[in-house]
């Protein structure tokens, strides 16, 4: 007990310091003078309780909110109840209902930015009237399967007054207002597979170069074209 007393200092009411007489927080732990040297090789840090998943489950809902543990084994217990989120070794804190992962695998990043993943059940993102924006650059936002759009679809519309112009990477619908017949330069079909472009020619004839009756957009008409990976073809004209 005398040894412990020599390491603990309480110079301020409600604060405890280890190897410091002026704790800067409720608990302030410092290495001693020798171990604080840059040449020191002693192991320093804080060890929280290390328990298995079953042991964490045995605590039920009694832990205080923010209790921190390190789950060192998931060989026992199950991912259910208060340990529903405990599926890997790592740090967890109790949120009042379940143990919540700080990170997995001793610090491995398991977010979508570092690796793929699989949903275990349906998920809903409530945007709460806020925009959700993906800035793709030259990349693509790909839905490899069914896309069920239950609501309005808002597409970009660009105004273009030059007789001859070039399609930009983020173009979709072009409202073309030149009074002189013109030609649009399309991106290469072989790098645009599945891409759709639409045009409305307000004042003159616009040549898209696409295969089909809508290749030339007549005054007062519109057309949509799509790339099949080899050529641009007319999808529809109106």
Say yes or no: 233 and 169 in one domain: yes
The mean pLDDT of 213-226, rounded to a whole number, is: 93
Please report the DSSP string for 84-106 in residue order: TT--SSEEEEE-SSSEEES-BTT
Residue 2 has pLDDT above 50, yes or no: no
Q: pLDDT tens across 162-202, in order?
A: 999 999 988 999 999 999 999 999 999 999 999 999 999 99
Write down the pLDDT at residue 181. Answer: 96
Distance separating alpha carbons of residues 55 and 156, to the nearest angstrom:
55
Its domain, for residue 15, covers 1-37
Residues 29 and 55 in one domain: no
What CA–CA distance (Å, rounded) separates 172 from 156?
A: 6
Q: Is the pLDDT of residue 137 over 90?
A: no
The predicted structure's pLDDT at residue 126 = 92
Residue range 82-103, pLDDT digits in tens: 999 999 999 999 999 999 998 6
Burial (Cβ within 10 Å: 0-12, 13-18, ≥19) of residue 156 = exposed
Residue 104 · residue 91 · CB < 8 Å: no
> Does position 238 have pLDDT exceeding 70, yes or no?
yes
Whether residue 232 is found in the same domain as residue 196: yes
Tell me phi and psi for residue 120, to 5 degrees.
-100, -10
The answer to whether position 133 is within a domain reads no
Query: Looking at residue 107, what is its pLDDT?
Result: 55
In a domain? residue 12: yes
Whether residue 212 sits in one domain with residue 174: yes
Looking at the domain assignment, is residue 67 inside a domain? yes
Give a yes or no: residue 56 inside a domain. yes
101, two tokens: 């992962």
Residue 21 placed within a domain: yes
pLDDT in tens, 12-29: 678 888 998 888 888 899
- Asked whether the predicted pLDDT for residue 154 surpasses 60, the reply is yes
Residue 139 has pLDDT above 70, yes or no: yes
> Is 127 a member of any domain?
no
Which pTM does this prediction carry? 0.52
In a domain, 126, yes or no: no
161 and 191 co-located in one domain: yes
Q: Which residue has the higher pLDDT, 138 or 166?
A: 166
Q: Do 55 and 28 share a domain, yes or no?
A: no
Instruction: Determine contact, residues 88/74, Cβ cutoff 8 Å.
Output: yes
Name the average pLDDT for the chain.
Answer: 89
Q: Are residues 7 and 54 in the same domain?
A: no
* Same domain (yes/no): 22, 54: no
Indicate the number of domains in the chain. Answer: 3
Contact by Cβ (8 Å): 209, 235: no
Residues paired with 185 in a beta bridge: 166
Indicate if 231 and 177 belong to the same structural domain: yes
Same domain as 76, residue 33: no
How many angstroms separate the first and last alpha carbons of the chain?
A: 90
Residue 14 and residue 78 in one domain: no
Sign of the dihedral through C-alpha 160, 165, 168, 171: positive
Residue 113 covered by a domain: no
Same domain, 178 and 224: yes
């Amino acid at each position: 007990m005398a040894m412990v007393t020599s390491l603990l200092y309480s110079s301020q009411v409600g604060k405890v310091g280890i190897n410091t007489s002026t704790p800067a927080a409720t608990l302030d732990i410092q290495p001693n003078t020798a171990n604080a040297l840059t040449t020191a090789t002693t192991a320093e840090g804080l060890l929280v309780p290390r328990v298995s998943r079953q042991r964490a489950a045995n605590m039920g809902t009694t832990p205080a909110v923010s209790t921190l543990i390190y789950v060192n084994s998931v060989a026992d217990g199950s991912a259910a109840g208060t340990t529903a989120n405990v599926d890997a070794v790592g740090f967890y804190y109790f949120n009042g209902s379940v143990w919540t992962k700080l990170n997995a695998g001793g610090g491995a990043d398991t977010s979508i930015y570092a690796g793929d993943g699989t949903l275990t059940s349906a998920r809903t993102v409530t945007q709460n009237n806020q925009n959700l924006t993906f800035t793709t650059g030259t990349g693509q936002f790909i839905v490899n399967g069914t896309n069920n759009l239950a609501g309005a679809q808002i597409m970009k519309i660009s105004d273009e007054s030059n007789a001859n112009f070039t399609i930009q990477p983020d173009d979709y619908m072009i409202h073309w207002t030149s009074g002189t017949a013109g030609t649009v330069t399309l991106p290469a079909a072989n790098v645009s597979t599945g891409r759709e472009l639409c045009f409305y020619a307000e004042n003159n004839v616009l040549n898209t170069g696409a295969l089909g009756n809508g290749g030339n957009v007549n005054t007062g008409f519109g057309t949509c074209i799509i790339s099949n990976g080899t050529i641009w073809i007319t999808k529809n004209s109106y």
